[in-house]
Amino acid sequence: MLGQVSPPSPHGSTLQRRSFLRSSLGFAAAALPVGSQAQTGPNARPIGEALPEAMKTPGGSDTPYGQPAVFERDVVRSESRAAGFSVWRSPLQHQRGTITPNGLHFATHHNGVPTIDPAKHVLMIHGLVERPLQFDLERLMRYPMVSRTHFLECAGNSAANALSMTALDHTLGDLAGEVSCAEWTGIPLSTLLNEAGLRPSAKWVVAEGADGGSHSRSLPLSALLKDGMLALYQNGERLRPSQGYPMRLLMPGWEGNVNVKWLHRLEVVDTPAYTKDESGLYTQVLNNGQIEHFAFHMEVKSVITHPSGQQTLPGVHGFYEIGGLAWSGRGRIAKVEVSIDGGASWAVAQLHGPVLDRAFTRFTLPWQWRGQKAVLMSRATDEMGHVQPSRKVWKSRYASHSFNHYNAIHAWQVGRDGRVENTYA
């Protein structure tokens, strides 16, 4: 690579930050070259003289549905199975930007992926309504639609870091890849619920999927009317079977499992149904033995995607970019701070806009690595003022076997050899 790379200018040039950058040995404040130089000497050929191989022959053919480059074969989801569940984690460490490609969207299936013929699928709205309604896809396609970019995160994301006594040496995707972000397009649920006509006693809605175990959850009606979407499209194309084809419920910022896939029934009721899915699986046991029920929101969280677990800095000392993703189920990300010394000092990272409500936000910070041991951490704050807790504080709130809604600060240790490893700081 030729030329120089200039790290982005510091965000928020307060006096405090300037002096932090000056006084900190680790964070780069000036432009640093990372490109390699043209070779010199008697046998050196001038840069640009040799034609690349691909320019000497005609190219190959394309495919009807575009595929990633063959050299990107390793960029895939990883699967793990537990108690009949199948979980596919997104390789966050290989992604840049904020939108998860459809083929890499994480997935959690309690009973596999059903094959649903859209011509035969119906959505029913019944219960405490004036007019029970049934919709086929042809009819739904005539409704006005909206598009929104939102993350989706499994309540059990990062369970390994919540439960394991020692930090497991895994990749970021394997540790925290049950989260993704996509542009969802569909029909506001208020349109369909209001068409059915809500009775005064209507307070909750039971959403049921058309998969084997009929996954179902109860949601407060008021929240569904405000924010709920019947999603039909994911990043511009129809939903993937893995994401609920032909239609799913989307509740922005709420734990993944209420986002019922393969949605076929909305029953309007006056109290929660206490389905097996919400009673058995998605409750948290607090430290005092009390049960936390219907904890819908996913709280503010962030992860450093590069450098991250099982990666190795190429050994060259100098400029590196620390970068990552932050999100909150409560609103926009207001601030991300990064530490290179295990939390002893923090610098404010640059946020890359647009900073959207309940969506992935990218953050970066230039860093000079001089071969020293380092512990990299990121700490996000959302616009409501919620800040990520330390692991110790998070663990003190819940019973030792609780793992849902884990949003503690995540840490990577960088060794002198440049190897990056999961650690508890």
Enumerate binding residues for Mo ion (CB under 5 A): 108, 154, 256-257
Q: Which does 395 bind (CB under 5 to 8 A by kind): Mo ion, ligand MTE, none?
A: none
The helix/strand/coil state of 414 is: strand
Question: Residues 336-349, buried b or exposed e (16+ Cβ, 10 A)?
Answer: bbbbbbeeeebbbb
230 binds, among Mo ion, ligand MTE, none (CB under 5 to 8 A by kind): none
Which amino acid appears at position 318 of this protein?
Answer: G
Give the span between the Cα atoms of 365 and 28, in whole angstroms: 8
List all residues 6 or more positions away from 111 whose beta carbon is below 8 Å from its beta carbon. Answer: 84, 211, 212, 213, 215
CB of 404 to Mo ion, least distance (A): 9
From the list 257, 308, 378, 388, which residue makes contact with ligand MTE (rule: CB under 6 A)?
257
In the complex, minimum distance from the CB of residue 266 to ligand MTE, in angstroms, rounded to a whole number: 13
> For residues 154 and 338, which CB has a smaller minimum distance to Mo ion in the complex?
154
Question: Going residue by residue from 208 to 237, which x/- string records binding to ligand MTE, judged by CB under 6 A?
Answer: -x-x---x----------------------
| Least distance in angstroms from the C-beta of 195 to ligand MTE | 23
Give the 3-state secondary structure of residue 197: coil
Residue 107, contacted partner among ligand MTE, Mo ion, none, CB below 5-8 A by kind? ligand MTE
In this structure, how many other beta carbons lie within 10 angstroms of the beta carbon of residue 126? 14
Please identify, using beta-carbon distances, which residue of 218 and 423 lies nearer to ligand MTE: 218
- 109 is a site residue for ligand MTE (CB under 6 A): yes
Regarding 106 and contact with ligand MTE (CB under 6 A), the answer is yes
Q: At its nearest, how many Å lie between ligand MTE and the CB of residue 414? A: 31
Residue environment code for 143-180, b if the CB has 16+ CB neighbours within 10 A, otherwise e: eebeebbbbbbbbbbbbbbbeeeebeebbbbbbbbbbb
- Residue 261 touches which member of ligand MTE, Mo ion, none, C-beta under 5-8 Å by kind: ligand MTE
Pick 129 or 260: Cβ nearer ligand MTE: 260
182 contributes a contact to ligand MTE by CB under 6 A: no
Rule CB under 6 A: say whether 360 interacts with ligand MTE: no
**DSSP run (H or E) holding 189:** helix 189-196
Contact 250, 232 (CB under 8 A): no
Q: From ligand MTE, Mo ion, none, which one binds at residue 109 (CB under 5 to 8 Å depending on kind)? A: ligand MTE
DSSP 346-395: -EEPEEESP--TTS-EEEEEEEEE-S--EEEEEEEEETT--BPPPHHHHH
Tokens 């640009």, residue?
Answer: 48
List Cα–Cα distances, 21 to 31, 345, 372, in angstroms. 13, 11, 18
Residue 152, binding choice from Mo ion, ligand MTE, none, Cβ under 5 to 8 Å by partner class: ligand MTE
State the binding partner of 262 from ligand MTE, Mo ion, none, CB within 5 to 8 A by kind: ligand MTE
The residue among 109 and 362 lying less far from Mo ion, judged by its C-beta, is 109
The answer to whether the CB of 311 falls within 8 A of the CB of 390 is: no
Rg (CA), the chain: 24
Strands (E), 160-252: 179-188, 204-209, 216-220, 229-234, 237-238, 248-250
Q: Is 69 exposed, middle or buried (0-12, 13-18, 19+ CB in 10 A)?
A: exposed
Please report, as residue ranges, which positions from 261 to 300 form the binding site for ligand MTE (by CB under 6 A).
261-262
Report if residue 301 touches ligand MTE, rule: CB under 6 A. Answer: no
Contact 91, 233 (CB under 8 A): no
User: Does residue 192 bind ligand MTE (CB under 6 A)?
Assistant: no
Measured CA to CA, the distance from residue 242 to residue 108 in angstroms comes to 8
The listed partner (ligand MTE, Mo ion, none) that binds 93, CB under 5 to 8 Å by sort, is none
Residue 260 binding target from ligand MTE, Mo ion, none, CB below 5 to 8 Å by type: ligand MTE
The answer to the question of residue 306 lying near ligand MTE (CB under 6 A) is: no
89 is a site residue for ligand MTE (CB under 6 A): no
Site string for ligand MTE, 150-179 (x = CB under 6 A): --x-x-------------------------
Binding characters for ligand MTE, 328-357, by CB under 6 A (x = yes) = ------------------------------
Quickly list DSSP for 96-148: -SSPPPGGG--EEESS------TTT-EEEEEESBSS-EEEEHHHHTTS--EEE
- Residue 90 sits in the site that holds ligand MTE (CB under 6 A): no
- Please give the residue ranges that form the binding site for ligand MTE (CB under 6 A): 105-110, 152, 154, 209, 211, 215, 242-243, 256-257, 259-262
